[in-house]
Structure 1
Amino acid sequence: MKSPKNPSTQPRLFQVIDTEDLIPPHHILRQINETVDFSAIHDWVAPLYTEKTGRPAADPEQLLRLMLLSYWFDHSERELYEILPMHAGCLWFCGLDCESLLHPDPHHPTLPDRTTLVKTRKRWRQHGIFDRLMTCVVDPCIAAELISPDVHAAADGTQVRANASIHSLREVKLAPVETLEDYLARTAREDEQTESPTADRDPVEVYSPLIHRPSSKSMSSLIN
């Protein structure tokens, strides 16, 4: 029997989705989250923040998780922010959900601006924290065989018929396209290239004596 035609393509007005239920137990990001103690980052970066003055800063643990996703999956910050809303696993790994992207609430975790991610990475590197944080997270993942220490950069587009059973397939561990040392060196060069001594200065209003604004009296005389 042919299924009836869907009278409407409008999605449900109200949806209750728990991102936790979307991530399978064997997902690589869930295994990494259970292996690494990310709470230690707060003690590492505590000297860089004040307790009573200034606006609330972005969560350093969430920023580190975003940086790790950029390294593991070989995405620039711009590419990461483009695919993040479409990947439930990455959102869950960063403590976010679809509601936090579509309807940001200051009382709940939100996605920080992309420039905040880049500036925080520069600041951590200036204080010698960024390299140590990345190493302390990646090394336990390598020891748990969740991440391959080898570099896999080759690609073959040849289509071949697989001689394997569908039941024998298993998820492989992450294999970044560059070593952690190369990644840290590359991002350090990028941070140096983007640094500008006048980037944080306020724009200066330039007054030109050649530009004359007629007064209301002169304007009325022109009209009359």
Structure 2
Amino acid sequence: MIQNQQSMIFSPYMGIYDLVVPKENLLRKLNDLVDFSFVYDELKDKYCHVNGRNAIDPIRMFKYLLLKTIYDLSDVDIVDRSKYDMSFKYFLHMAPEEPVIEPSSLTKFRKLRLKDVNLLDLLINKTVEIAIEKEIIKSKSIIVDATHTKARYNQMAPREILMDRSKKLRKAIY
């Protein structure tokens, strides 16, 4: 089983979370009140259980994607922020000194484990349902902005950029 691969955290610094992550913190409430073990049930068929190296905990990977959704950050930004944001580390069930994943691991997780796009929606919906049951989220309605957004990188080739800019320059001159 995937959950049997995970190890316990033995760190002398775990007590720091009680000092720097307040009880009212949203991520602390989510982590303390929501049982994310449903992620194992949903993803058990997506992992090989008999060979290969130990996988990064699917709950942690799901939580990275959940943080990405909550805070509207890129893979690189969410991993970078989880290096120094103690509420993120607490939510991800990491020791304060534990290193974070590579941003490319999130891409691999999405492509290899969440091939079915609806699966990610299902996992987020289950998390929201549990959060509503535990009264972390008070409202019965959730508004989601589903507009398409551009990625950080430039989607046009250099030649296309030059052609577009020259067209704009000619238009401005005329």
Residue matched to 1:88: 86
In structure 2, the residue matched to 1:121 is: 110
Structure 2 unaligned runs (5+)?
1-11, 156-174
Per-residue CA shift, 1:111-146, capped at 9, x if unaligned?
322111112123343234222111111233245253
C-alpha distance in 2 between matches for 1:45 and 1:63: 11
Residue in structure 1 matched with residue 95 of structure 2 by the alignment: 97
Hey, what does 2:137 align to over in structure 1? 146
Q: Secondary structure at the match of 1:95?
A: coil
Any unmatched runs of 5+ in structure 1?
A: 1-15, 102-110, 152-178, 195-224
1:37-81 per-position Cα deviation (integer Å, ceiling 9, x unaligned): 101211211111111212211110000111111111111111112
Closer, same or farther in 2 for the Cα pair 1:90/1:96, shift >3 Å? same
| TM-score, scaled relative to structure 1 | 0.53
Aligned mate of 2:67, from 53, 66, 69: 69
Spell out, residue by residue over 1:180-217, the C-alpha distance to the aligned partner (whole angstroms, 9 max, x if none).
x72xx859x97xxx9xxxxxxxxxxxxxxxxxxxxxxx
**Pair 1:47 & 2:45 matched:** yes
Task: Please report how far the alpha carbon of residue 147 of structure 1 lies from its aligned counterpart in structure 2 after TM superposition.
Answer: 7.0
Q: Does 1:21 align with 2:12?
A: no
Structure 2 counterpart of 1:93, which letter?
F
- Determine the C-alpha separation between the residues in 1 that align with 2:91 and 2:35: 13
Cα RMSD of the aligned pairs, angstroms, is 2.9
Deviations 1:67-102 (A, max 9, x none): 11111111111111222122101001101133112x
- Equivalent in 119, 124, 127 of residue 137 of structure 1: 127
Bigger radius of gyration = 1
Greater relative CO (CA pairs within 8 A, separation 6+): 2
After TM superposition, the structure 1 stretch with the greater mean CA deviation from structure 2, 137-146 or 73-82, is 137-146
TM-score normalised by structure 2 residue count: 0.66
Q: Which amino acid aligns with 2:58?
A: P
**Of 59, 70, 73, which aligns to 2:57?**
59
Q: CA deviation at 1:35?
A: 2.9
Amino acid at match of 2:33: T
Higher helix share: 2
**Is the 1:39–1:61 Cα contact (8 Å) retained in structure 2?**
yes
Aligned partner letter, 1:118: T
Q: Are 2:101 and 1:112 aligned?
A: yes
Q: 1:112 to 1:85 in 2, by over 3 A?
A: closer
- Identical columns (%): 24
- Look up the equivalent residue of 1:139 and give its one-letter code: E
